[in-house]
């Protein structure tokens, strides 16, 4: 019970911040400023306050669901814990929804470059990874994927051995060759300070969908890139 409760608490912080991020998008606020303000409260702290494309891995999803099942088995309705899981599942679609909206729902024959496939940096673990949800939604919509991850390439090949809409690349920049857009799905260190002008020049459409809020929207706009993050107010287009 203690293990389940601890992991559910951390997952709750993430889902809460993802809910606030959606409010920020609609209200025109910036979740990064909100996050820093909330985290400055000593009662709360900064840990697990980063919004993004949803949590994954072997512990949080499994333990949240196990806690819900435990509650169900003894006749207790765990509404809050159920909501944590529901918010996370919905959050994993956010980047796809933004990509689809940008291209007016016309994703057939589009190619999306993806940086980051593991559920978090410094692992090859793809269990419940948000990248899997994005890729599978893109394929269902008729799009292709060019993807790169520093560690998880072998695991992706194992999971999708016969997917003809997936091209795995040897480097981050190679993943953008022939791509219409870039999506960031894992916050690997090597993705934090890229050459934005090179990204702009190689993409067919100069647009970045930042599922981990790695970048400053104003910097990308100045480099001629449209930018769509998580909870960053009104997303920025380069001509705005």
Say if residues 70 and 4 touch (Cβ distance below 8 Å). yes
Cross-strand pairs, 226:
207
Catalytic site residue from 24, 59, 169, 223: 59
User: Which tokens in the block code for residue 98?
Assistant: 């933004």
User: Which tokens in the block code for residue 45?
Assistant: 């702290």
Please provide residue 82's backbone torsions phi and psi, each rounded to the nearest 5 degrees: -60, -40
* Sign of the C-alpha dihedral computed for residues 47, 49, 52 and 53 taken in this order: positive
- Pairing label, strands 144-148, 111-115: parallel
Reference 139, options 119, 173, 165; nearest CA is: 165
Alpha helices in the chain (DSSP H): 2-27, 31-39, 60-73, 79-91, 94-102, 130-140, 153-159, 196-202, 217-222
Catalytic site residue 169? no
Reference 56, options 185, 188, 169; nearest CA is: 185
Cross-strand pairs, 207:
226
Integer-rounded Cα radius of gyration of the chain: 18
Q: Rounded distance, CA 151 to CA 121, Å?
A: 9
Catalytic residues: 59
């Amino acid at each position: 019970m203690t293990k389940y409760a601890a992991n559910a608490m951390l997952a709750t912080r993430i889902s809460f911040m993802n809910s606030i991020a959606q409010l920020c998008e609609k209200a025109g606020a910036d979740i990064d400023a909100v996050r820093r303000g909330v985290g400055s409260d000593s009662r709360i702290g900064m840990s697990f306050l980063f919004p993004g494309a949803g949590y994954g891995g072997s512990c949080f999803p499994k333990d949240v669901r196990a806690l819900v099942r435990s509650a169900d088995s003894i006749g207790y309705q765990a509404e809050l814990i159920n909501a944590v899981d529901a918010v996370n599942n919905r959050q994993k679609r956010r980047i796809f929804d933004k990509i689809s909206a940008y291209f007016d729902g016309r994703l057939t024959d589009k190619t999306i470059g993806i940086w980051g496939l593991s559920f978090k940096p410094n692992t090859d673990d793809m269990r419940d990874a948000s990248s899997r949800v994005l890729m599978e939604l893109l394929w269902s919509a008729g799009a292709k994927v060019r993807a790169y991850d520093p560690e998880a390439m072998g695991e992706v090949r194992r999971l999708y051995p016969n997917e003809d809409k997936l091209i795995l690349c040897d480097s981050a920049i190679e993943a953008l060759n022939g791509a219409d857009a870039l999506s960031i799905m894992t916050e690997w260190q090597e993705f934090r300070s890229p050459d934005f002008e090179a990204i702009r020049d190689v993409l067919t459409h100069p647009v970045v969908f930042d599922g981990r809020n790695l970048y400053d929207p104003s910097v990308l706009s100045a480099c001629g890139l449209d930018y769509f993050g998580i909870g960053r107010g009104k997303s920025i287009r380069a001509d705005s």
